[in-house]
Amino acid sequence: MEELLLSYRTEILWTAICLLALSISRFLSIKAIRKVGRISEMDRARTRLIIKYVIIGHSLLFIFAMVFIWGVNFRELGLIFSSVFAVIGVALFASWSILSNITAGVILFFTFPYKIGDRIRIHDKELDEIREVVIEDIRAFHVHLRLGTGELLTYPNNLFLQKAVSLMPDDPGDGDGSEAL
């Protein structure tokens, strides 16, 4: 056992350093995300979702660091990774819309100026009959919007980044005479 520890002491030391650095980074990232969520008055479910993304990212970073530190033979590992990345690439291409909505959900978490309960107008020519909607929920893939008729509209997150969105005044009498919700 002592021989094993002596022969791998450099790898063990770098593993401990990497584990400590990633643990601190993870702790600070989660703390910052919670603070942004609290300051921006974001829904707790959205904050937890972004925290899950950060944990997954840190875990993948740790796995790649361990592969590098422990000196896994890249020729054999290259074959495995190329096969896995080929399958993942095909899957991501097939689900590009889902991936773009998840990415947009993360971006919206940090930059979306609207909150649940706000009345907004989406300037989308495909939604020309819709004047105003109320944000009911913001999820990982889409936003739930309540129409004036009571219908629920599910709007993809990536379209919020592509289309113009206006915040409507709190007073329903203001604006262009559209119906109050």
Alpha-carbon Rg for the chain, nearest whole angstrom, is 23
The whole model's pTM is what?
0.54
Per-residue pLDDT of the chain (181 residues; tens, 9 = 90+): 778 778 888 888 999 999 999 999 999 999 999 998 888 877 788 888 889 989 999 998 998 888 888 877 766 667 777 777 777 777 666 667 777 888 888 888 777 788 888 899 888 887 766 678 899 988 878 889 998 888 898 888 888 888 888 888 875 554 444 444 4
Query: 114-167 maps to which CATH number?
Result: 2.30.30.60
| Contact yes or no for 12/29 (Cβ under 8 A) | no
- For the chain, domain boundaries: 2-94, 114-167
